[in-house]
A and B are shown apart, each in its own frame.
Chain A
């Protein structure tokens, strides 16, 4: 052994050492702890947890090891391995010391393992057992028992706290919230919020990551108390059903119920960290309101029916409507909440069985302009880089994304970058959490993004900060583009946007001079009548500075739903088959016709808002809605309701009787993400496995099984042995998914394009070459929002999301914890406006637009600028979309959710 380890065979930056008589070679700087781990030696440890990726604090003294020749025992978690040292990890002396550490900890620790929630999963218990510590050796004063529960979810029991500091480390340096810290000293030391501050005012986001890292039962989730201990719980790793980040979550189940959701340190793109929704938003799965059997409307009432009755009813009516009015009188909404396989089957059903391209979904309402804009500029309408890339960015430009609330795990990554000193530019009309970390906050007026970005590019060009080589070699359309931004001097941009010229200049320099600058954007960019223009502007900015095709850079749209990327990829859009193969491309269509065994329509179908309009006019007679809730999610609610009521047949397939389902003729009960196998594709094009953890409630069935059964009853055989078989068909037909199989996904996720079975996936798009060949500049002129404030409706209303809730609230508002954290909606108004109108903080107000009105409580805050209001769209009792305008982007057909004119008045 020794002879093989000659120094000349070892890389210069590697060292070789002996641990418990085993030779190990590791990169220089590796700690003894990690070196030991490599050869399978698990050194006991309490304060350190390598999977957390946090620096060791070396405070627990449990991982002490003996290094020959060293003066004392050394903590292995922080002691760097050096060449030739001889380490022993398990001598009698070391065991004695470890035993004493445990005895001392147990001398001030309740011995209630019999009823402790953590029993079986407790590191202190584990080491006490391993070291044979029975009764505590050192009787002494005990901390009086005083568990503190100061919120709906998290409980802290100081008596069980060993003060390892993991939770503090996570709170300050992973979540970057810093809500808790060590308080007081000596015997009184404990972990706490600033004294007297309630948790909800402490900055605590209730992410609960502190619970996962706690080695004992000190921090716990109160909702899981008494519902089962570690050895009684089933554990299934799957993908979170909320936003598009695609975090891996672990469902802990017992008796076909989810007891709790945990993260697994190091696992998934989130490395085990979760946000408040992912961790506590799971009550909907086992909610008593779940649909358990089909319903058919009879005499105006939805009444229970058998599957045979319901499916026959739908098949007969669809067949009849198709025969009478033609296939284009039928439309469907696929679902950004459902799996790739289910979306694939839905669009296949509509195209091959019904014979229409009238299939769309809520991506239309969030990132249609991204898909359109980025495809025009680069040839691919998806996030160019990866989430992990943010670690490499030297400047981050966040525009129109309230990342810490809407994509919290990415938001935390941005905060960590800022904490490391990476300059952050935030462009947002509102003050958001990220603006606290920003080097520059550009507070543009609503809907002036094109002018702002043109202003930035004007500065870059006039100061010669553009990447000439990149422009020359990799792009086209530069001359025309250059001419188009010339008028947008910082001064003109200031007049349009309200952002000081000097801030525009500073931001332009910060962005352009960075070796790798990442653009992060979201619905603040896309949900405008100029959404596609906004996206093109950002594409221009990245092209101009060569920030594409390399690590840490890119144009990165953050997708809103867990599988909105996948639903688009699967062709849940009216103009494309899976993999964005155009329906009007004869070659593509021929391929699908052969495989699907049916002739397919060549003309694009209707988009979401067009479907509603067509239904209102009577052109669309039947609408099949899978897992969407247009009654709350679509703009101009009264119009949506009128249209849905006019339909001859409304089929809603969902897990709850949503506001839309309440209007349906047939309701089909589907399974939730926890009850099915499949895949979701996250915002960074990463295809990940969704795994079944529970049996469906009652007679609920999987979405693709329901659709296949319908197809069969309509005379078209669609039959699959399971989700994996559907993926095989997807791979066969979709070049970008070609190399993706369930077998490969078991080994780990894959980012598309993945063109063959041996391809490792593509973390960064457009390396060396754009998907469309050259990157294309577009000349984009500023156009104001469709409906601007005027004398009658003097405020600009913007809508969006908050951290604790999600979309139409179907899932999040059924969570006990999330409901307790935020139970009612509010509208944000600036103090100046509030004072002028006599509106007090917390007071009910009436907000009205040309389309409707709502009543809601006001929050007076300078998060919004004078003349503007902000309202989340989660609340059925105060639906934001009763106010919004259905004005559409001419290219992407996305509605302008971000600006409409309203008035606001106090309600007495």
Chain B
């Protein structure tokens, strides 16, 4: 059931062929383009990299589709499935862990009803855990989109989530 809803939402969200063409025209994608920049720009627009967009990028850049997917699947920053409007990245690195980072992660999971790398049914949040965010002094650390929320505990973390929910609501 959950999957069906996610699939429906994904379908609703999937950009049309015309959207893709228009964006790639705008980005002037050609065999001279830098693949990673193009992928970043396309993901910035659509939130993820839809398969038809990758096929069209492959055609225009003359980079084989197998290689395009090779690059996409190599970098953690790229998504081939739609993800939530907000990306939550919780640190599971040593410094955060000793200060209770795992409890923060557990609380977020429980609150949102998702596991790592999963997206909430309402497509609001995607949860990721990462090895280090490079700001150990602020640990436990939770980054939402590009905003760093430091010194987290389960209660504070839930308040942060609530803030984003209210903003969107």
> In the complex the two chains form, what is the Cα distance from A196 to B67 in whole Å?
14
> In the complex the two chains form, what is the Cα distance from A195 to B74 in whole Å?
13
Contacting pair A181 B64 (CB below 8 A) = yes
Binary interface encoding of chain A residues 184-199 relative to chain B, with 1 for a CB under 8 A from any of its CBs, else 0 = 1100000011111100
Residues of A with C-beta under 8 A to B64: 172, 178-179, 181, 203
> In the complex the two chains form, what is the Cα distance from A325 to B88 in whole Å?
94
Interface residues of A in 525-549 (CB under 8 A from B): none
Contacting pair B74 A197 (CB below 8 A) = no
Residues of B with C-beta under 8 A to A184: 73-74
Interface residues of B in 19-66 (CB under 8 A from A): 51, 54, 64-66
Contacting pair A194 B74 (CB below 8 A) = no
Contacting A181 at CB < 8 Å: which of B51, B54, B67, B75?
B67
Which residue of the partner chain B has the closest CB to A188? B73
CB distance from B64 to the nearest CB of A (A): 3
Residues of A with C-beta under 8 A to B68: 194
CB distance from A349 to the nearest CB of B (A): 53
Is A771 part of the contact surface with B, judged by Cβ < 8 Å? Answer: no
Is B69 part of the contact surface with A, judged by Cβ < 8 Å? Answer: yes
CB distance from B74 to the nearest CB of A (A): 5
Contacting pair B74 A180 (CB below 8 A) = no
- Dominant secondary structure at the A interface: loop
Q: How many residues on the A side are at the interface (Cβ–Cβ under 8 A)?
A: 17
CB distance from B70 to the nearest CB of A (A): 4
Contacting pair A202 B66 (CB below 8 A) = yes
CB distance from B81 to the nearest CB of A (A): 11
> In the complex the two chains form, what is the Cα distance from A448 to B49 in whole Å?
45
Residues of A with C-beta under 8 A to B69: 181, 183, 192, 194-195
Contacting pair A193 B74 (CB below 8 A) = no
Residues of B with C-beta under 8 A to A179: 64, 66
Contacting B67 at CB < 8 Å: which of A178, A185, A197?
A178
Interface residues of A in 39-60 (CB under 8 A from B): none
Residues of A with C-beta under 8 A to B80: 195
Binary interface encoding of chain B residues 67-86 relative to chain A, with 1 for a CB under 8 A from any of its CBs, else 0 = 11110011100001000000
Binary interface encoding of chain A residues 420-457 relative to chain B, with 1 for a CB under 8 A from any of its CBs, else 0 = 00000000000000000000000000000000000000
Residues of B with C-beta under 8 A to A194: 54, 65-66, 68-69
> In the complex the two chains form, what is the Cα distance from A605 to B144 in whole Å?
87
Contacting pair B65 A197 (CB below 8 A) = yes
> In the complex the two chains form, what is the Cα distance from A172 to B74 in whole Å?
19
Residues of A with C-beta under 8 A to B74: 182, 184-185
> In the complex the two chains form, what is the Cα distance from A197 to B70 in whole Å?
13
**Best-buried of B54, B68, B73 by chain A (most CB within 10 Å):** B73
Which residue of the partner chain B has the closest CB to A168? B66
- Number of A-B residue pairs, CB cutoff 8 Å, is 41
CB distance from A158 to the nearest CB of B (A): 14
Which residue of the partner chain A has the closest CB to B75? A185
CB distance from B117 to the nearest CB of A (A): 13
Which residue of the partner chain B has the closest CB to A182? B70
Residues of A with C-beta under 8 A to B75: 185
> In the complex the two chains form, what is the Cα distance from A787 to B69 in whole Å?
49
CB distance from A326 to the nearest CB of B (A): 64
Which residue of the partner chain A has the closest CB to B69? A194
CB distance from A438 to the nearest CB of B (A): 13
Which residue of the partner chain B has the closest CB to A184? B73
> In the complex the two chains form, what is the Cα distance from A183 to B67 in whole Å?
8
CB distance from A228 to the nearest CB of B (A): 33
CB distance from A145 to the nearest CB of B (A): 21
CB distance from A623 to the nearest CB of B (A): 51
Contacting pair B70 A183 (CB below 8 A) = yes
Residues of A with C-beta under 8 A to B67: 172, 178, 181
Contacting B73 at CB < 8 Å: which of A172, A180, A185?
A185
CB distance from A463 to the nearest CB of B (A): 29
Contacting B70 at CB < 8 Å: which of A181, A202, A203?
A181
Which residue of the partner chain A has the closest CB to B62? A436
CB distance from A150 to the nearest CB of B (A): 13
> In the complex the two chains form, what is the Cα distance from A182 to B75 in whole Å?
12
Residues of B with C-beta under 8 A to A192: 66, 69
> In the complex the two chains form, what is the Cα distance from A178 to B59 in whole Å?
13
> In the complex the two chains form, what is the Cα distance from A646 to B69 in whole Å?
62
> In the complex the two chains form, what is the Cα distance from A185 to B70 in whole Å?
9
> In the complex the two chains form, what is the Cα distance from A184 to B74 in whole Å?
4
Contacting pair A178 B73 (CB below 8 A) = no
Residues of B with C-beta under 8 A to A181: 64, 66-67, 69-70
Which residue of the partner chain A has the closest CB to B59? A436
CB distance from A787 to the nearest CB of B (A): 38
Residues of B with C-beta under 8 A to A185: 73-75
Residues of B with C-beta under 8 A to A178: 64, 66-67
**Best-buried of A180, A184, A192, A194 by chain B (most CB within 10 Å):** A194
> In the complex the two chains form, what is the Cα distance from A179 to B65 in whole Å?
8
Interface residues of A in 266-288 (CB under 8 A from B): none
CB distance from B54 to the nearest CB of A (A): 8
Contacting pair B73 A183 (CB below 8 A) = yes
Which residue of the partner chain B has the closest CB to A189? B74
Residues of B with C-beta under 8 A to A196: 51
Residues of B with C-beta under 8 A to A193: 66
> In the complex the two chains form, what is the Cα distance from A307 to B103 in whole Å?
89
CB distance from A831 to the nearest CB of B (A): 16
> In the complex the two chains form, what is the Cα distance from A202 to B67 in whole Å?
12
Residues of B with C-beta under 8 A to A203: 64-65
> In the complex the two chains form, what is the Cα distance from A202 to B51 in whole Å?
14
Residues of B with C-beta under 8 A to A182: 70, 74
Residues of B with C-beta under 8 A to A172: 64, 67
**Best-buried of A172, A181, A185 by chain B (most CB within 10 Å):** A181
**Best-buried of B66, B75, B80 by chain A (most CB within 10 Å):** B66
> In the complex the two chains form, what is the Cα distance from A183 to B73 in whole Å?
6
> In the complex the two chains form, what is the Cα distance from A196 to B80 in whole Å?
12
CB distance from A865 to the nearest CB of B (A): 21
CB distance from A203 to the nearest CB of B (A): 8
CB distance from A481 to the nearest CB of B (A): 40
CB distance from A127 to the nearest CB of B (A): 28
> In the complex the two chains form, what is the Cα distance from A196 to B52 in whole Å?
12
Which residue of the partner chain A has the closest CB to B74? A185
CB distance from A91 to the nearest CB of B (A): 36
> In the complex the two chains form, what is the Cα distance from A695 to B66 in whole Å?
44
Contacting pair A195 B73 (CB below 8 A) = yes
Which residue of the partner chain A has the closest CB to B66? A181
Binary interface encoding of chain A residues 166-177 relative to chain B, with 1 for a CB under 8 A from any of its CBs, else 0 = 000000100000
Which residue of the partner chain B has the closest CB to A190? B73
> In the complex the two chains form, what is the Cα distance from A184 to B69 in whole Å?
8
> In the complex the two chains form, what is the Cα distance from A502 to B150 in whole Å?
65
CB distance from B126 to the nearest CB of A (A): 19
> In the complex the two chains form, what is the Cα distance from A178 to B80 in whole Å?
21
Residues of A with C-beta under 8 A to B73: 183-185, 195
Residues of B with C-beta under 8 A to A197: 65
Residues of A with C-beta under 8 A to B51: 196
Which residue of the partner chain B has the closest CB to A178? B64
Binary interface encoding of chain B residues 140-166 relative to chain A, with 1 for a CB under 8 A from any of its CBs, else 0 = 000000000000000000000000000
CB distance from B49 to the nearest CB of A (A): 12
> In the complex the two chains form, what is the Cα distance from A180 to B67 in whole Å?
8
> In the complex the two chains form, what is the Cα distance from A178 to B75 in whole Å?
20
> In the complex the two chains form, what is the Cα distance from A202 to B66 in whole Å?
8
> In the complex the two chains form, what is the Cα distance from A502 to B54 in whole Å?
33
18 extra interchain contacts, Cβ-Cβ under 8 A, other than A181-B64, A182-B70? A172-B64, A178-B64, A178-B66, A178-B67, A179-B64, A179-B66, A181-B69, A181-B70, A182-B74, A183-B66, A183-B70, A184-B73, A192-B69, A193-B66, A194-B65, A194-B66, A194-B69, A195-B69
| List of 4 A-B pairs having minimum Cβ-Cβ separation, nearest first | A178-B64, A181-B66, A181-B70, A194-B69
19 contacts between A and B (CB under 8 A): A172-B64, A172-B67, A178-B67, A179-B64, A181-B70, A182-B70, A183-B66, A183-B73, A185-B74, A185-B75, A192-B66, A192-B69, A194-B54, A194-B66, A195-B69, A197-B65, A202-B65, A202-B66, A203-B64
Interface residues of A (CB under 8 A from B): 172, 178-185, 192-197, 202-203
